[in-house]
Amino acid sequence: MILDRYFARRFMQNFFVIGGIFLTLIILIDLVEQVRRFDDANLSFGQLLQLTLLNTPAAISEMLPLLVILTTIALFVGLARSSELVVTRAIGRSGLRVLVAPAVLALLIGAVAVALLNPIAAATSEEFRRLSDGYRNNGDSTLSISREGLWLRQGTNTGQSVIHARGTLNGERLGLRDVTVIAFGPNGIPTEQITADRAVLEDGQWALQQAKVWTIQDDLNPEAASVTHDTLNLPTTLTRDKIIDRLGRQDSVSIYDLPQLIRDLREAGFSTKQYEVWLQAQLARPLFLVSMVLIGAAFTMRHVRFGGTGIAVLTAVLLGFSVYFVRNFAQILGENGQLPIMISAWAPPIAGIFLSLGLLLHVEDG
């Protein structure tokens, strides 16, 4: 038990040191990126730093597997160089028994990442997108999906517009059906309402088909002054990539809100596979971090007198990246419906655990 606490303390010390180094690098690199992105927006240093800090939790969450495998490598290379692993084996404790404390800590780190870091990263990512859209478009644009359909808010130089649609249309261009638009002036007062059978997103505008426009004024009867158009163009700052990106940004939704969002999407007639895969992948994250610990240990739990430490470390990192790539590829297959959702999310971490356990058993027992 004393050895377990010792190995756990060494593991956490390495984790915080490596995490601090990566955190500093992430902030510096992302700050430079924000300066480049908003070079024409004349933002202050405080605003750029705010955007950087809002983007940091999501970056840390994404890099957590790399932090865990590097922590494991640093731990066991250090133990091997000080001959502590040799002493540990000499008192009758197997290499697999040594891995219990790091594996349990990785499991706890994964659980904390799912329960706390995920909601924080989702909230900060959403705020980052809201602020960046506002700085770039002279007004923020948001997207929301509920059981009533799709809601869009777009900003232009003339004011804000809220767009509601019952669903989307299939095709090369992004299209919406059963559309209602409420336009607001610069003072925030509604100026007109538009309904249309469909709206197709073109370059810098929505092409509304079979549209009817009601002008909203205090001294005007809206119905008497209404106008019908076969086609009506509505200016927009949105693009297809922005909308598709927001529709597919699962990382901006907290894991606690995902089940309700999946139900709302299903009732509104939208595909939910990508959100279901993301939910299961987040639940499987603790096991994936455990697999990173086992992979890192499989190549570094050897005495330095055997040589080849650098090759062993490089092999461990490359294998960890390979498992990470396989996990992401499996998630893409799950989102496209080519793999069952549970298999696409849970198979890679479980396969990584069994693969590394096989290597460890081969090294330990021959």
- For residue 93, pLDDT over 80 is answered with no
Domain that residue 193 falls in? 142-237
- Domain-located, residue 243: no
Q: Are residues 281 and 211 in the same domain?
A: no
Final residue of a structural domain among 237, 272, 301 = 237
- For residue 138, pLDDT over 60 is answered with no
- Please tell me the predicted confidence (pLDDT) of residue 252: 76
- Domain-located, residue 248: no
d(CA 71, CA 63) in angstroms, rounded, equals 12
Final residue of a structural domain among 175, 204, 237 = 237
Q: Are residues 208 and 346 in the same domain?
A: no
Final residue of a structural domain among 180, 203, 237 = 237
- Domain-located, residue 181: yes
d(CA 99, CA 318) in angstroms, rounded, equals 21
Q: Are residues 172 and 146 in the same domain?
A: yes
Q: What are phi and psi of 12, to 5 degrees?
A: -70, -35
Burial class (CB in 10 A: 0-12, 13-18, 19+), 348: buried
Cα end-to-end distance, the chain, whole Å: 27
Q: For 153-183, what is each residue's pLDDT tens digit?
A: 777 666 788 888 877 765 556 778 888 988 8
Residues 6 or more apart whose Cβ sits within 8 Å of residue 264: 145, 146, 147
> Which pair of structure tokens corresponds to residue 218?
């205090």
**DSSP annotation of 250:** G
Q: How confident is the model at residue 216 (pLDDT cuts 50, 70, 90)?
A: confident
d(CA 15, CA 18) in angstroms, rounded, equals 5
Q: Are residues 163 and 118 in the same domain?
A: no
Query: What's the CATH code of the domain at 155?
Result: 2.60.450.10
Contact 198, 179 (CB under 8 A): yes
d(CA 132, CA 136) in angstroms, rounded, equals 6
Provide DSSP, 124-152: HHHHHHHHHHHHHHTS--EEEEETTEEEE
Q: Are residues 313 and 177 in the same domain?
A: no
Q: Are residues 76 and 122 in the same domain?
A: yes
Q: Are residues 97 and 229 in the same domain?
A: no
Q: Are residues 353 and 275 in the same domain?
A: yes
d(CA 63, CA 51) in angstroms, rounded, equals 19
Tally the domains of the chain: 2
Q: Are residues 159 and 206 in the same domain?
A: yes
Question: pTM score, two decimals?
Answer: 0.77
Q: Are residues 126 and 263 in the same domain?
A: yes
- Domain-located, residue 280: yes
Q: Are residues 128 and 6 in the same domain?
A: yes
H helices, E strands: number in the chain: 12, 7
- Domain-located, residue 242: no
Contact 275, 261 (CB under 8 A): yes
- Please tell me the predicted confidence (pLDDT) of residue 167: 72
